[in-house]
Structure 1
Amino acid sequence: MNYKNKILATAPMMDWTDRHCRVFHRLLAPHARLYTEMVHANAVVLGNRERLLGFDPVEHPVALQLGGSEPQALAQAARIGAEWGYDEVNLNCGCPSDRVQAGRFGACLMREPALVADCVAAMIAAAAVDGRTVPVTVKCRLGVDDEHDYERFRGFVDTVAAAGCGTFVVHARNAWLQGLSPKENREIPPLRYEWAWRLKRERPDLRVLVNGGVAAPDQAQAQLRHVDGVMLGRAAYHDPYLLHRLEVDLYGGELRGRGELLRALRPYVEAQLARGVALKHITRHVLGLFHGQPGGRAFRQVLSEGAHRPGAGWALVEQALAATAAQRRAAA
């Protein structure tokens, strides 16, 4: 099967997929679509935009994920995102946290498809900047709480698609708004990939990506036989080399070693250190690079214990790689 037209994406993850994480993921997967952490529309409009929206040019293609439920605020934020150069603006209709529900956005919006359609229409109209229209997409669940009606899910998609949204990232579980933590909401509600597959069959003009539970190359390839793309979340964060394996499997190229990939990050790390960024803010995203490998524990230990110290620099990364190599030799 030809996967070159398929999409590999990393999920928006609060406190994780910041700009340093995304630059690292870009080195691992040159073709992947990277998503920011969710940012509330009001924060984009009123807050520190460099801190909230700034990104390195190497991150392209990169998508800005917005939270909110007010069409006017979302439209303003979408326009700002387009002006900052984002390649996509994504509306969060899937987060189940209490804080998100209290603000009437995230997964609870699946109960208000007409409102989501209004938001999307306003965002699309606002995201036309400098002769280009930045695509507006939606990330959603299958439903909320004990709703197990495929027709209702498809009705949500149809209503939002009629407003101009052509791409849906489907986290293939329900979101339980009461009784489950966000972590439990990622694990306990059963996965129903067949709903996303059916949606793609019945709405072939829509672009459908699947998110949830994909943690190995063969699982990703199984999804891509049915849909247009896969989005990896915590699997890609805790085992980032998985992203690189998928990049090579889907798009070709040579599989590079973990150490080689990490050393390619050195110019970025040193540039950030020169700007006053502490090493710990970058290396926390690479701790899983040797996940499941001999020496992986030593790698994590050296970085975790040393990266927070004043003056920590690239030499610590080399020290971590050396400790890993020593353990690998001892285990051989």
Structure 2
Amino acid sequence: MNVLVNPDFPTGASDADWRVCVAPMIDVTDRHCRYFHRLLAPKARLYTEMITTGALLHGDVARHLDFNDEEQPVALQLGGCEPFALADCARLGQQWGYDEINLNCGCPSERVQKGAFGACLMAEPALVADCVKAMQDAVSVPVTVKHRLGLDYDESYGFVRDFVGALHIAGCRVFIVHARNAVLKGLSPKDNRQIPPLRYEMAARLKADFPDSRFVLNGGITLAGHARELLDGFDGVMLGRAAWHTPGVLSELSRMCDPDVVLLEPGQVVHAMTDYAAREVAKGVPLRIVVRPMLGWMGGRPGARHWRRTLSDPKVLGGNDPQVIEQAWEALARNSD
């Protein structure tokens, strides 16, 4: 069968779907979290935590890269600044079955800065272009970049336009734009998610100036209705902390974007997570790790406080009995009657 591919997009990118994405979040979006999010949002694009090139090239590859087939489409986010190392890691990611390789150019943490990658890479667009080119030469899946709008307090459009332009010349066609600056000194990673002002209009200028590329908007998106409105101007939206604190927003947005896709009922999600937890506990994974992403799911419903308290109680979870999830659901259902 002949497949028509848009020549402006790398292989595999022309028919990929970035409308609904869940952001890479360190210590959050592990494989258990992604499995849960997939149950809520069948077509969302899920991202790993940022994994450094050093961790893959000198550590336990399977521990970092193993994932459940049900998670796909799933993207591997890499942190690094050396083209050859990133190419090797991108190759590993494709071999492991990831659908996309994403380069982190947005993290402002001091630890990441010491490694000379993350947001500080925005000051070196030629190096980032070399990294992108090296990864593209190594894999056939899309290579994408997640970046900020600027560094510190420089809010000039020219800075981010030239950064994106250098990567565009290198062949990158998918950009995930956290629509804030990254302040490298004086603000914590948490403050960097809240204090620098959001500038969606500048992200929109990028989309207008690079019409053959896809732009996914990230930053300050917490409500499904707002996210759906933003899709009128962007190729996708990426939810971060909202997906962690109020994961039900993923189901809401999925229903708006794909009304014909049948979503699981909450009880079905509970049963699926109970079965999944049983398999993971049998492998030696503590139950508390599996249920962490579920804590905020029932927020706003009668009995939500009991739900959260049950699934975060060390004594309750200490027995590693997956039926705790079902019991918490039954208790919540009784409170809802």
Asked if these proteins are the same fold (TM beyond 0.5), I'd say: yes
Indicate whether 1:145 and 2:163 are aligned: no
Contact kept in structure 2, 1:94 and 1:106, CA below 8 Å:
yes
Q: Pick closer, same or farther for the CA change 1:309–1:217 going to 2, 3 Å.
A: closer
Q: What is residue 124 of structure 2 aligned with on the other side? A: 112
Matches within 5 A, 1:122-201: 122-127=134-139, 133-201=140-208
Report how far residue 259 of structure 1 moved. Answer: 3.0
Contact kept in structure 2, 1:6 and 1:224, CA below 8 Å:
no
**Of 70, 80, 94, which residue of structure 2 is paired with 1:58?**
70
Aligned residue type for 2:333? A
Indicate whether 1:285 and 2:293 are aligned: yes
Q: Pick closer, same or farther for the CA change 1:5–1:85 going to 2, 3 Å.
A: closer
CA distance in 2, matches of 1:11, 1:33: 9
Aligned residue type for 1:102? K
Indicate whether 1:20 and 2:32 are aligned: yes
Q: What is residue 88 of structure 1 aligned with on the other side? A: 100
Q: What is residue 231 of structure 1 aligned with on the other side? A: 238
Q: What is residue 266 of structure 2 aligned with on the other side? A: 258
Contact kept in structure 1, 2:86 and 2:135, CA below 8 Å:
yes
Report how far residue 326 of structure 1 moved. Answer: 2.7
286-295 or 30-39, which deviates more: 286-295
CA distance in 2, matches of 1:257, 1:152: 46
Indicate whether 1:328 and 2:326 are aligned: no
143-152 or 12-21, which deviates more: 143-152
Matches within 5 A, 1:239-254: 239-252=246-259, 253-254=261-262
> Counterpart of 1:169 in 2: which secondary structure?
strand
Deviations 1:47-92 (A, max 9, x none): 1011100001111110000001111111111111111110000000
> Counterpart of 1:265 in 2: which secondary structure?
helix
Report how far residue 104 of structure 1 moved. Answer: 0.5
Give structure 1 stretches of 5+ with no counterpart: 128-132
Indicate whether 1:276 and 2:284 are aligned: yes
Contact kept in structure 2, 1:306 and 1:316, CA below 8 Å:
no
Q: Pick closer, same or farther for the CA change 1:5–1:50 going to 2, 3 Å.
A: closer
Q: What is residue 91 of structure 2 aligned with on the other side? A: 79
Report how far residue 299 of structure 1 moved. Answer: 0.1
> Counterpart of 1:153 in 2: which secondary structure?
helix
Q: RMSD across aligned C-alpha pairs, in angstroms?
A: 1.5
TM-score, normalisation: structure 2: 0.92
CA distance in 2, matches of 1:165, 1:145: 25
> Counterpart of 1:285 in 2: which secondary structure?
helix
Deviations 1:255-295 (A, max 9, x none): 55433322222322211122121111100111011012221
**Of 284, 290, 312, which residue of structure 1 is paired with 2:320?**
312
Q: Pick closer, same or farther for the CA change 1:29–1:307 going to 2, 3 Å.
A: farther
Contact kept in structure 2, 1:295 and 1:323, CA below 8 Å:
yes
Give structure 2 stretches of 5+ with no counterpart: 1-15
> Counterpart of 2:187 in 1: which secondary structure?
coil
Contact kept in structure 1, 2:244 and 2:296, CA below 8 Å:
yes
Deviations 1:211-250 (A, max 9, x none): 0011111211121111100000000111111101111110
Aligned residue type for 1:65? Q
Tell me how many residue pairs correspond in the alignment.
321
Q: What is residue 305 of structure 2 aligned with on the other side? A: 297
Report how far residue 314 of structure 1 moved. Answer: 2.1
> Counterpart of 1:208 in 2: which secondary structure?
strand
State percent identity of aligned pairs.
Answer: 53
Report how far residue 322 of structure 1 moved. Answer: 2.1
Contact kept in structure 2, 1:241 and 1:258, CA below 8 Å:
no
Aligned residue type for 2:232? R
